[in-house]
A = this chain, B = another copy of it.
Amino acid sequence: MGTAYGQFCPVAKAMELLDERWTMLLVRELVMGSEHFNDLRRGLPRMSPSLLSKRLQQLVRAGIVEKRVDGTDVRYLLTPAGEELRPVVEAVGAWGARWIGEIGDRDLDPKLLLWDMRRNIVEEATPPGRTVVELRFPELRASQRRWWLVIGPDEVDVCDDDPGHEVDLVVTTSLRTLTQVWMGLGTWDQARGAGQITVDGPAALRRALPGWLALSTFAHVERGPHVVRV
């Protein structure tokens, strides 16, 4: 790992493992349930594959992650020690949600947002059969303007080009608005009331939408004054 701190303190020893760039975010992805290399990549799009590979090896060596190979299927699973990092990730995320000020445009990413949303969709609350939701961010450049969530009976897909299915719901908003709603800063209904989100489609589907589109893990953290600059 990084150079040792030369301290016996448990905080120091733990941070020798955790303070390298990307490591905590990788642990976050594992805690959130991603197991495959390319799924981890989707949650960490700015991390190079070689660095992801290196970090995974470090965590395996440390005893935090188990690499389970089953034929062609490779999974990275948290060991019990790794699973117990969940409270650490939660404490960090709760602090961030509570104190970090407004996020910059550089931190908005439609692909990442959709991927996060995908992970939290409440399958039991989705309509039977297949539901296709199109998301439109008119302010973005063409290649990032339209996205599709294909909520099948058994799985959810995120597409950045038209999957060809008939669209059931069209959500039009700004990327910032949807990100903020997802993070729990203002509610879906507030944003709709303010005209910042419009939803087109059958009334039943529109009403049901907030029921299965669960928000971020940290959406319900009680907020502080958001004074921290980062």
Interfacial residues, chain A to chain B (CB-CB below 8 A): 1-25, 28, 45-46, 61-64, 79-81, 84-85, 87-100, 103-104, 106-109, 112-113, 116, 179, 183, 216, 218, 221, 224-225, 227-230
Residues in B whose Cβ lies below 8 Å from that of A183: 8, 10
User: Which of these, B11, B61, B87, B93, contacts A24 with CB under 8 Å?
Assistant: B11
Residues in B whose Cβ lies below 8 Å from that of A221: 10
Taking A224-B80, A229-B62 as contacts, is the C-beta distance between A107 and B13 under 8 angstroms?
yes
Asked if B227 and A81 make an inter-chain contact with CB atoms under 8 angstroms apart, the answer reads yes
Asked if B109 and A11 make an inter-chain contact with CB atoms under 8 angstroms apart, the answer reads no
Write the chain B residue with the least CB distance to A24. Answer: B15
Residues in B whose Cβ lies below 8 Å from that of A88: 88, 91-92, 95
Question: How many copies of this chain does the complex contain?
Answer: 2
Write the nearest CB–CB distance from A221 to chain B, whole angstroms: 8
Asked if B8 and A28 make an inter-chain contact with CB atoms under 8 angstroms apart, the answer reads no
Taking A8-B183, A11-B93, A106-B6 as contacts, is the C-beta distance between A228 and B17 under 8 angstroms?
yes
Asked if B13 and A62 make an inter-chain contact with CB atoms under 8 angstroms apart, the answer reads no
User: Which of these, B8, B20, B109, contacts A6 with CB under 8 Å?
Assistant: B109
> In the complex, A109 Cα to B23 Cα: how many Å?
28
Asked if B81 and A85 make an inter-chain contact with CB atoms under 8 angstroms apart, the answer reads no
Q: Which 3 residue pairs are nearest across A and B when measured between Cβ atoms?
A: A10-B96, A14-B96, A10-B97
User: Which of these, B21, B94, B179, contacts A2 with CB under 8 Å?
Assistant: B21
> In the complex, A216 Cα to B7 Cα: how many Å?
13
Taking A1-B230, A228-B17 as contacts, is the C-beta distance between A8 and B62 under 8 angstroms?
no
> In the complex, A1 Cα to B100 Cα: how many Å?
14
* 17 A/B residue pairs, CB under 8 Å, sorted by A: A1-B230, A7-B25, A8-B112, A9-B28, A9-B116, A10-B95, A10-B96, A11-B28, A11-B89, A12-B25, A14-B95, A17-B230, A19-B20, A19-B24, A80-B225, A81-B227, A88-B88
Taking A8-B109, A15-B25, A230-B13 as contacts, is the C-beta distance between A91 and B81 under 8 angstroms?
no
Residues in B whose Cβ lies below 8 Å from that of A3: 21
Asked if A10 and B93 make an inter-chain contact with CB atoms under 8 angstroms apart, the answer reads yes
Asked if A107 and B8 make an inter-chain contact with CB atoms under 8 angstroms apart, the answer reads yes
User: Which of these, B19, B46, B84, B229, contacts A99 with CB under 8 Å?
Assistant: B84
